[in-house]
Structure formats: structure tokens, C-alpha cells
Chains A and B, each alone.
Chain A
Amino acid sequence: MSEGAVSAVIIVLICLVSVFSGWLAVRRRLPTAADYFTAGGVFGPFALALGIFISFVSFFGYFGLASLSYRTGLGSLSAVGLVSVFTGLLLYLVHRKTVLLARPLGWSSQGMVYGARYGRPMQFLVPLVMLLATVPYLAAQVMAIGHLCSSLGLPYWGGILFIMLFTALYVTIGGFRGSTYAHIIQGTICLVGLLLTIGAILHHYQGLSPLYQRILQTKPSLLMIGAGNPPAWHYTTILSFSLAMTLGTTCMMQPFMHAFSTNDFRAFKTWTLMIGPLIFISCGTSAWVGLVGFDLFPGLAGLASDQIYSLVLHALFPGWTAAVLLALVCGAAMATIDALLLGNAMNLINDIYKPFINPDLSDRQVVSYSRALIIAVTLIAVLLVWKPVIPIAELTVFGFSTSALMIFPLVGGYYWRRATSAGAIASLLVGIPANYILSIGLGWPRTMQMPKAELAGFSPFLAALLLTGIVFVVVSFLTSPSSKRVLDNFFAVE
């Protein structure tokens, strides 16, 4: 059997198992709207930890990070891998209140959280901002599926359409419960694949030291931060990348969905703390794969470097084993795609359609309309990557940087009594366009996280983040505080 055929069989198996998960979820419980989006809190700490890990790792944690490491060296770990424990801490600190307040206040979408604190305009704005943040992230996953299929000798568009069809199918059928069942399977097989890859690298070089020695002789700047002119990684770039990813992760839809479905406080602590080590294993492996790639296949540039993960696996493993491992990566992309599809459907239906257009929507209609929205967003994502021009890593980081700008309204809403609706809305209306204009105008796509002389040394994202924070604080102080009833709700728990 050829490598392409082996990969195709594994991908089909992952797709079928995922669809089975969706079917199992429906069979176990009738999909009320709350159950469809939160699974009624049936999952324990390890299921939630694996679920949130695999829904974030995505292709960025494999192909994107390996490509970034290949091009810029170990500094790429500053984007996610090394800051993942900090991310876990932030998830705990911020979403502790989401867990405590979600059930008593009846939240089942992101906009409801912001809406309860800042009012209906904010509830309307949040899903739109999340759509802006997740579309680049989603497009990166779809594009990467095409790359994966190409590297396996399968058709680019055929692979995309097949996998997107199955992903939309199982998430449409099973909602959060079905996707979490699938995540448990996808997360486990991805972890096994990662451990095998680490083992193969250690076996090939007889430890990590010889690998580092070889890079030291050929291109030592890959092991440094601050080397090169301009340097690929230095303080400002690291700050920009790491803040975009950690703050973006905290404000993305996945932590909200997992917080809504947490039924036990120890489980919450466990999954927020487990995410750090799990993401480090994944991202550390990909960064090492990038270095191995530089040693074995120097000279790739631009979008071609996104293929480095696949090239390295083919170099380290016999043909069919590499094909199996690459096919397993597909599970990570499917997990991220399903989380983003479900999250967007959850937000658009609960925060825009139901409160503003059709308040009399029944539970059954909410589920049906959400399913239609999942299919619509799937089609948009596929159309967006008709002609790929931006590497996966840059596209993903841009999505996270947009999400990161919501950190001030979120933390301010939970922990700062003086935060106001006008402050939250103004900060997003200023910050989001500023991030787009500065990033696209000054550094798109390669250098958008690098310091710019025009911005007095700030990167476009850092400038937009600072601007968002200043607008939030100043406008909050200039406007009337939120009502006592709202504050009592949010500060009933500390």
C-alpha cells in the first residue's frame, strides 16, 4: 500500500470515529440548547484538559511552529510553548469568575458574559469581534489541511473538502459533547504521535546536544535571541508574540466553553494547570522539528517552509509510519476547527440572533439554527483560503492578537468596579481597527510583531494593546459607573 493510501485510510478513520462521537453524544441525551453548547457539565478534569489542549494546539502547534522555528530559531517558543504555564495561570485567574457566575447568571455564550456586565451593545459587539479574530485562525487550519494532504500525495482541495465536511458533520450532530468526545480521542492520538516524534529525534541525533552542536556550527543565530540585524527575536518581539498568544488564548471562545461546562472546582484547577505542560510538549516538539529541518533541509523559504514538519517526519521514520503520524496531526486541526465553528455558532445565535432578531426562538430552533450557522462558517472558511498567501504561523498570531484586545473589558468587567460600558465599547472600537491598520500598514505579514520606528519602538500589536488599555481606563473614568445591581451581581463572589 502506498504512503498516500495509508494516510488516506488513517484520515478517514479519524473522521469516522469523530462522526461516531457526535452520534454517540446525540444518542446519550437530547440536545437542548444548553446541553448542545455546554454538555451539561458531564466532563471530568482530564477530558476538559485534553479537550482544551487539542482545540488550541491546532496546525499552528505542528506545521506553523515548526516552520517558524525553521526560519527564526528557538525564539519561536516564546510565541506559545514557553509561555504556556503563564497562560494556564491567566486562565485560572480570569475564568475562575466565569465558572462561579455562569450557572447562577445563566450564561451560555461569550457575549452573555460581557452583556451582563456592560449591556446589550457589548453583547452584540463581542461575537463580531470574535468572528474577526477567529476567521484568520480558522483559515490557517483549513489551509494547513490542504498542505498536509499535498505532502501526503493527496489532492489539496479534495482533502480540504473531505475533512471540513466530516468536521462540520460531527460538530453539527453532537455539539460540545460530541466534539469533546472527539477531542479526547484526537488529543490522545496526537500526544502519542508527539512522543514518538521526540523519541525519533533523540534516537536520530543520540540526544539533543548533538543537534544543538550542529546548528551552532551552521547557523548559531537560530539558538540565540537578539542575534542578527534586525534580530528575529528580541525583547519587543517576544513580548508582542507572547502577549498576543497568552491574552488571546484567555479571551478566545474555547476557555469560555470549557468554563461553562465545568461542574467541579478541582476539575477547573486541574485543566487550567494541565494546559501548560501539554502545550509545551506539543510546541517544544515542533520547535525541535524545525531545527532538525534546518539541519536536514536548509534553504526553504516562505510558504515552502510550512512543509518542514512533513519533510522531517519522512526523514526520521519509514515511509508508512511517517504517513500515519502525519495523518494523526489531522486530528489537531479538526479539533481546533470544530471548537471555532461551534464557538462562533454559539455566540452568533445566543448573542445576536436570539436577543436582537427573534427573542421567541425555541430550544430546538436554537440548535437547528446553530447547525446551519456551523455549515455557513465552514463554507466561508473554505472560500477564504482559495488562494493562500500568508504562512500559517503569522495568520494564527494575527487572529490571537485580535482576540487579545478583549482582555481589558474581560478582566475589568470581572475585577474593576469602575469599568463602564462606554469604556469597554470605546476600547474595542478603537483597538480593533488600530490593530488592523497598524499591522497591515506597517508589517504585514512577516514583521507585524516586530518593533517599528514609526511607533516609537512598539510593535503594531503592542501599540494597539496599549491604546486599547488607555481608552478603556480613561473612558471608564469619564463615564458613569455601572448600576449597583450589575456590580452586585459581578462582585458577589471574590
Chain B
Amino acid sequence: MIPVIILVLLQVGVLWLVFRQLGRNLMSVAIAVLAVLNACPWFTTYETAEPFFLGQPWWLSVWMISAVALLVLLYIRLFRMSDKQGTEDLPELWARVRKRLMEGGGEDIP
């Protein structure tokens, strides 16, 4: 019961952060779910050491596959998102942040 409560809280927290940073779409949902699976594989039982992939216990194989899937999705999302948002140039972004801080409002900074 306790791990379930913490995992639900963790899932909600990660989903909230991912939505804020990476946008509200299906890929963000997939990233958030995989992230929590990666933080703790809560979808399976473990009291078996049956080999699955390269002789590894199957729970470990599933865990590793979820980690690789998460990494691939993150690379795609982060680097595709940057193209859509325009600048990657930090000094330019910092200049816009400074301007906004001085003005106390204005354009949104990505």
C-alpha cells in the first residue's frame, strides 16, 4: 500500500513537471510513465530469476528496456522541441530574461 501511495505521488509530480517543461502531449505522458517505471519498476513481481534477455533475470531486462526507451524518447523530444522553440543561444535568452526582469513583464521566454 505504502509504495503505491508514493508511486502515485511520484507519478503525478513527474507528470506535472514534464507537462510544464515538455508540453502537454502523448509523448510527454509516455515520458512521465516510463520515467517512473525507470525510477522503480512497479509493474511486475520479482520473485523469480528466470533468464530472459542475454541470460539476465527478466525483471532486469524489462527494466533496462524501459530505460533505453525513456532515453530515446527524451532525446527525440528535447532536441525536436528546441527546433520548434527557436533559439538555443543562451546569451540571447539571458538578454531577454534580463530585459523582462527590468521591465517586469513582456514577452514569454521559452
Q: Are A100 and B93 in contact (CB under 8 A)?
A: yes
Task: Report chain A residues within 8 Å CB of B14.
Answer: 89
Chain B nearest Cβ from A209, distance in angstroms:
3
Task: Report chain A residues within 8 Å CB of B79.
Answer: 266, 269
Contact of B3 among A92, A236, A246, A264 (CB under 8 A): A236
Q: Are B2 and A456 in contact (CB under 8 A)?
A: yes
Q: Are B60 and A74 in contact (CB under 8 A)?
A: yes
Q: In chain A, residues 436-494, which have Cβ atoms closer than 8 Å to a Cβ of chain B?
A: 451, 456-458, 462, 466, 488-489, 492-494
Complex CA gap A235/B5 in Å reads: 12
Q: In chain B, residues 62-110, which have Cβ atoms closer than 8 Å to a Cβ of chain A?
A: 63-64, 67, 70-71, 74-75, 78-79, 82, 88-91, 93-94, 97-98, 100-101, 104-105, 108-110
Q: Are A265 and B93 in contact (CB under 8 A)?
A: yes
Chain B nearest Cβ from A82, distance in angstroms:
5
Complex CA gap A281/B59 in Å reads: 18
Q: Are B7 and A239 in contact (CB under 8 A)?
A: yes
Q: Are B75 and A93 in contact (CB under 8 A)?
A: no
Complex CA gap A266/B88 in Å reads: 6
Interface SS majority for chain A: helix
Task: Report chain B residues within 8 Å CB of A121.
Answer: none
Q: Are A100 and B97 in contact (CB under 8 A)?
A: yes
Query: Is A96 an interface residue when CB atoms closer than 8 A count as contact?
Result: yes
Q: In chain B, residues 37-64, which have Cβ atoms closer than 8 Å to a Cβ of chain A?
A: 38-40, 42, 45-49, 51, 54-57, 59-60, 63-64
Closest to B3 in A: A235
Closest to B85 in A: A265
Complex CA gap A488/B103 in Å reads: 10
Chain B nearest Cβ from A169, distance in angstroms:
33
Contact of A415 among B17, B51, B67 (CB under 8 A): B17
Complex CA gap A462/B3 in Å reads: 10
Complex CA gap A89/B15 in Å reads: 12
Q: Are B20 and A494 in contact (CB under 8 A)?
A: yes
Closest to A225 in B: B46
Q: Are B40 and A276 in contact (CB under 8 A)?
A: no
0 or 1 for each of A219-250: is its CB under 8 Å from B? (1 = yes) = 01001111100000111101100110010000
Query: Is B29 an interface residue when CB atoms closer than 8 A count as contact?
Result: no
Chain A nearest Cβ from B100, distance in angstroms:
5
Task: Report chain A residues within 8 Å CB of B74.
Answer: 85, 88-89, 92, 273
From A234, A235, A276, A488, name the one whose CB has the most chain B CB atoms within 10 angstroms: A235
Complex CA gap A375/B105 in Å reads: 45
Complex CA gap A238/B6 in Å reads: 12
Q: Are B90 and A96 in contact (CB under 8 A)?
A: no
0 or 1 for each of A61-99: is its CB under 8 Å from B? (1 = yes) = 000000000000010011000111110110011101001
Closest to A222 in B: B49
Complex CA gap A118/B57 in Å reads: 47
Chain B nearest Cβ from A5, distance in angstroms:
39
Task: Report chain A residues within 8 Å CB of B60.
Answer: 74, 77, 82
Chain A nearest Cβ from B60, distance in angstroms:
6
Query: Is A358 an interface residue when CB atoms closer than 8 A count as contact?
Result: no
18 more contacts with CB within 8 A, not counting A104-B101, A212-B56, A276-B71, are A82-B60, A82-B63, A85-B70, A86-B70, A88-B74, A89-B35, A92-B21, A93-B17, A100-B90, A209-B51, A212-B49, A224-B49, A225-B46, A238-B40, A239-B6, A273-B75, A415-B17, A457-B2
A-B contact list, 20 entries, CB within 8 Å = A82-B63, A84-B67, A85-B67, A86-B36, A89-B18, A89-B70, A89-B74, A104-B101, A223-B49, A223-B57, A234-B46, A238-B40, A239-B6, A242-B40, A243-B39, A264-B90, A415-B17, A457-B2, A492-B97, A494-B108
A residues neighboring B (CB under 8 Å): 74, 77-78, 82-86, 88-89, 92-94, 96, 99-101, 103-105, 207-213, 216, 220, 223-227, 233-236, 238-239, 242-243, 246, 262-266, 269, 273, 276-277, 280, 411, 415, 451, 456-458, 462, 466, 488-489, 492-494
